[in-house]
């Protein structure tokens, strides 16, 4: 049984909660973020002192060996997990799902089987208010954007994996988030579909200019998509290195054959390989402290 170590204090009183004037801070600020779980009295640190800022319109990919806390980081940014120390601020405000400035594209199977494509895409809008002609129109726009026009009335089980992930993306875009969080969205797709989806995502990102934090374990995916790749280390999860990807845009699948591209991927792989090896040595695998 995993239980969050500490609940976030009720928001609102914190002076940091007051929105700052625009232009004075980056869109996403992660400040000394630690997340831990108490398991049977023992305290396990998942994230330890993660600090990161993401500028407005930036595409940031987070990679790391499995177990490095990538997904935990994403969920903490979204406010689904309460940090045990540190803070996440979006546009200067402490992050919370109710603020409605973020949307998550999950890995898979998070579409609602009883909702049609249109209704799935509208889900976030339905949560935030009443269904109207406007929310329907907005959802249709997003469906068109991801190239699924004509499938509005299909149910998820009638779609392929790639189409489902497009619906997933459209659902996140429908609420017009300032920050788009993507949790290995293409990991469950086959290699060809994944490559197509990567380029389509780049197209959409170019049009919409959302700020994106993208979690992946595919290094080539990270280098292809990102302005900056954050390499994480595990046990406890922390940032090991930040790499700015200086490959001109627009990028497409040909980018992957470039020399520079391969150099970036190799560099990151070396970092991670080392990390994987280290985590295999007994005794250092998990940093465990006794409870707070």
Partner 1 sequence: MSGVTSRERRARHTTMPPAPGPRRRRGSGRRWRGYRAVVSFAGFLVVWHVAAEYLVANPLFLAGPISTVQAVGTMWADGTLQQDLLVSADEFLKGFGAGLVAGVLLGLLLGTSRRAKDYIDPLINGLYATPLVALAPLFILWFGIGETKTVLLVFMLVVLPIAINTDAGIRATDPQHLEAARSFGASRLQLFTMVRFPTSVSFLVAGIRMGIGRGLIGVVVGELFGSQSGLGYRILVSSQYFQTDVLLAGVLIFSVTGVLLVKIFEWLERRVAPWQSGQG
Q: Check residue 97 for interaction with partner 1 (CB under 8 A).
A: yes
DSSP per-residue codes, the chain = --EESSPPPPTTSSGGGSPPPTTSS-SEEEEEEEEEEEETTEEEEEEEEEEEEE-TT-EEEEEESTTSSHHHHHHHHHTSS--SEEEEEETTEE--GGG--EEEE-SSS-S-TTS-HHHHHTHHHHHHS---HHHHHHHHHHHHHTT-TT-TT--GGGS-HHHHHHHHHHHHHHT--SEEEEESTTTTS-HHHHHHHHHHHHHHHHHH--EEEEE-S-HHHHHHH-SEEEEEETTTBEEEEEEE---PSS--GGGGGSHHHHHHHHHHHHHHHHHHHHHHSTTSS--EEE--
Pick from 36, 83, 124, 185: which binds partner 1 (CB under 8 A)?
124
Nearer to partner 1, 215 or 231 (CB): 215
Listed ranges 7-15, 46-54, 112-120, 210-218: which one lies at the site for partner 1 (CB under 8 A): 112-120
Pick from 3, 130, 157, 244: which binds partner 1 (CB under 8 A)?
157
Q: Alpha-carbon distance 23 to 56, whole Å?
A: 9
Pick from 46, 61, 103, 170: which binds partner 1 (CB under 8 A)?
103
Min. distance of Cβ 21 from partner 1 in angstroms?
A: 25
Nearer to partner 1, 11 or 49 (CB): 11
Pick from 5, 30, 50, 106: which binds partner 1 (CB under 8 A)?
106
Q: Check residue 80 for interaction with partner 1 (CB under 8 A).
A: yes
Residues 19-58 vs partner 1: string with x where CB under 8 A? Answer: ----------------------------------------
Listed ranges 124-132, 159-167, 223-231, 269-277: which one lies at the site for partner 1 (CB under 8 A): 124-132
Pick from 18, 23, 41, 98: which binds partner 1 (CB under 8 A)?
98
Q: Check residue 3 for interaction with partner 1 (CB under 8 A).
A: no
Q: Check residue 100 for interaction with partner 1 (CB under 8 A).
A: yes
Listed ranges 3-11, 53-61, 82-90, 152-160: which one lies at the site for partner 1 (CB under 8 A): 152-160
CA dihedral (131, 203, 184, 161) in degrees, to 10, reads: 70
**Where do contacts with partner 1 occur on this chain (CB under 8 A)?**
78, 80, 96-100, 102-104, 106, 108-110, 112-114, 123-124, 126-128, 155-158, 175
């Amino acid at each position: 049984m995993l239980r969050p170590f500490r609940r976030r204090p009720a928001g609102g009183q914190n002076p940091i909660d007051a929105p700052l004037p625009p232009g004075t801070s980056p869109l996403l600020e992660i400040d000394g973020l630690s997340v831990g779980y108490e398991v049977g009295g023992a305290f396990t640190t998942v994230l330890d002192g993660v600090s990161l800022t993401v500028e407005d319109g930036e595409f940031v990919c987070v990679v790391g060996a499995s177990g490095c806390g990538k997904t935990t980081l994403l969920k903490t940014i979204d406010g689904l997990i309460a940090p045990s120390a540190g803070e996440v601020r979006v546009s200067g405000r402490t992050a919370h799902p109710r603020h409605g400035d973020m949307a998550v594209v999950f890995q898979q199977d998070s579409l609602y089987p009883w909702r049609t494509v249109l209704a799935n895409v509208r889900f976030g809008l339905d949560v935030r208010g009443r269904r109207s002609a406007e929310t329907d129109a907005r959802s249709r726009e997003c469906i068109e954007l991801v190239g699924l026009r004509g499938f509005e009335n299909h149910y998820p089980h009638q779609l392929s994996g790639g189409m489902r992930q497009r619906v997933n993306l459209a659902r996140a875009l429908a609420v017009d988030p300032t920050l788009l969080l993507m949790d290995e969205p293409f990991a469950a797709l086959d290699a060809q579909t994944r490559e197509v989806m990567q380029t389509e995502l780049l197209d959409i990102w170019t049009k919409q200019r959302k700020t994106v934090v993208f979690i992946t374990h595919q290094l080539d995916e990270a280098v292809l998509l990102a302005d900056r790749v954050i390499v994480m280390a595990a046990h406890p999860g922390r940032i090991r290195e930040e790499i700015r990807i200086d490959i001109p845009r627009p990028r497409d699948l040909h980018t992957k054959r470039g020399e520079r591209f391969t150099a970036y991927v190799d560099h990151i792989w070396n970092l991670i390989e080392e990390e994987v090896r280290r985590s295999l040595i007994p005794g250092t695998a998990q940093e465990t402290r006794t409870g707070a």
